[in-house]
Amino acid sequence: MRYIDFVHLGYDPSEEDLICEFHVKPLGITIEEAAGGVAAESSIGTWTELTTEKPYVRELQARVFSIEGNEIKVAYPIGLFEAGNMPNVLSSVAGNVFGLEDIRRLRLEDIHLPSKLVDSFPGPKHGVEGVRRLLMVKGRPLVGTIIKPKLGLRTPDHAEVAHQAWVGGCDVVKDDENLSGQGFNSFEERVVQTLERRDLAEEETGERKAYMVNVTAETEEMVERAEFVEAQGGRYMMVDIITCGFSALQTLRKKGLDLVIHAHRAGHAAFTRLPDHGISMRVVAKLARILGVDQLHVGAVVGKMSETREEVEANIDALVGRMHGLKRVLPVASGGLHPGLVPELIEIFGSDFAMQAGGGIHGHPSGTEAGAKAMRQAVEAVLEGVGLEDYAEDHRELSQALRTWSAT
């Protein structure tokens, strides 16, 4: 079969087909040939005709059924994929095709898995509703922070910063993506000491609190760390899902732990950032949901990260839109956030999301506790329909925060 033999513009995909949407820029060939090359090389074809091909093999060919400009849609028969094997799916539809010489740029924009394939994965255990029940927070976004500086604090200081954030009003406190079990802050000691301060903060505030400890490591070690967190009374684990890999994430989810899975996307921009090459964050979000995360960073539009509003809204929809009965995943906004951005965040995300401010809390001139209070005050102002400047007249912490980051 030639590349062009994989183009079937009259084909009507079945309910059991896996559908991929690609942006393709050919190099020296037509868009039809390039599209056929994507479908061929990601299913049963290759660059030349084969003497080993059998007639029955053609039942498994992918088909390009739509070409509009540089946008193509490819339908893959479900028989190409092994149930419950996400690496197999990605090695097929997002594997060698990115290295084809005759394609200048290729981006996997969206993916739609059939329900039969989705059902072979666990999906979220808790989701939005489970997280809200766990933290007993209704009707408002979750307020969270990341311990800063992200690396270097010794264990007692790390636990103290977490305690101040919780007392100030944060619902959740998390490790940063590159804090693991370094000598200055060992994993086990950090879990024990920080959870002790969490319990103290709950007694002092009367609110439920959570610590998202980063368990990212080699797979077996990661499972052991998650089990340790649960044994110590933890409620959350955080996983760097890109750098540890989807297989490791799937293994962790299948262990049956009761911990909420907070998914960090560290490393995603290496392949999601270019608009015409790579894999979109929307695809990552869909696959993470299928594999079973409960919440995931999706960008913020405002702040220091690069994504547009259209991209962030697509990421959010991938987490909360209807998908074969899967629970909704809680979107997480992060990256350069501070109290002054809260109105825009709520306008973009609504109420079902978590806002994670690091420097925008710990950089408050009166310290971490005041920074957390300022974030909660900003949320209260929006929910009460009061402008931040007006609300700040009677709330010192918010007033200081607005002055500190007024030009940010």
**CATH tag, 7-118:** 3.30.70.150
Q: Is 254 a catalytic residue?
A: no
Residue 147 has pLDDT above 90, yes or no: yes
Integer Cα distance of 97 and 40 in angstroms: 9
Q: In what order do the strands lie in the sheet with 278-279?
A: 63-68, 71-76, 18-26, 103-112, 278-279
- The catalytic residue among 209, 264, 297, 362 is 264
Whether a cis peptide bond, with omega within 30° of 0, leads into 339 is: no
Integer Cα distance of 51 and 384 in angstroms: 72
Burial class from Cβ neighbours inside 10 Å (0-12, 13-18, 19+) for residue 340 reads buried
Query: Would you state the torsion angle of the CA atoms of residues 313, 283, 294, 137, taken in this order, to the nearest 10 degrees?
Result: 0
Q: What is the mean pLDDT of the chain?
A: 96
Alpha-carbon distances of 174 from 6, 165, 188, 394, rounded to whole Å? 48, 11, 15, 30
Residue 8: strand, helix, or coil: coil
The angle subtended at Cα 174 by Cα 290 and Cα 226, nearest 5°, is 60
Alpha-carbon distances of 315 from 161, 257, 281, 309, 336, rounded to whole Å? 31, 26, 6, 10, 19
**pLDDT, tens digit (0-9, with 9 covering 90-100), for 321-359:** 999 999 999 999 999 999 999 999 999 999 999 999 999
Q: How far apart are the first and last CA of the chain?
A: 57
Residue 366: strand, helix, or coil: coil
Q: Where are the domains of the chain?
A: 7-118, 127-404
* Residues sharing a CB contact under 8 Å with residue 351, sequence separation 6 or more, in sequence order: 139, 140, 141
Q: Are 78 and 114 in contact (CB under 8 A)?
A: yes
- The catalytic residue among 73, 126, 148, 268 is 148
Domain covering 127-404, topology: TIM Barrel (3.20.20)
Confidence of residue 305 (pLDDT cuts 50, 70, 90): confident
Model pLDDT, residue 46? 86
**Which among 103, 64, 57 is positioned nearest to 79, based on CA atoms?**
57
Residue 106 half-sphere exposure, CB side, CA atoms within 13 Å?
Answer: 24
Model pLDDT, residue 407? 55
Helix, strand, coil abundance in the chain, percent, nearest 5: 45, 15, 40
pTM of the model: 0.95
Return the bridge partners of 18, or none: 76
* Residues sharing a CB contact under 8 Å with residue 107, sequence separation 6 or more, in sequence order: 22, 23, 274, 275, 276, 277, 278, 279, 280
% of the chain surpassing 70 pLDDT:
100
Residue-wise over 324-336: b if at least 16 C-beta within 10 A, else e? eebbbbbbbbbbb
**pLDDT, tens digit (0-9, with 9 covering 90-100), for 210-221:** 999 999 999 999
Confidence of residue 67 (pLDDT cuts 50, 70, 90): very high
Six-digit token pair at 369?
């506790």
Q: Is 116 a catalytic residue?
A: no
Alpha-carbon distances of 46 from 11, 81, 202, 366, 401, rounded to whole Å? 21, 18, 61, 63, 59
Q: Are 334 and 370 in contact (CB under 8 A)?
A: no
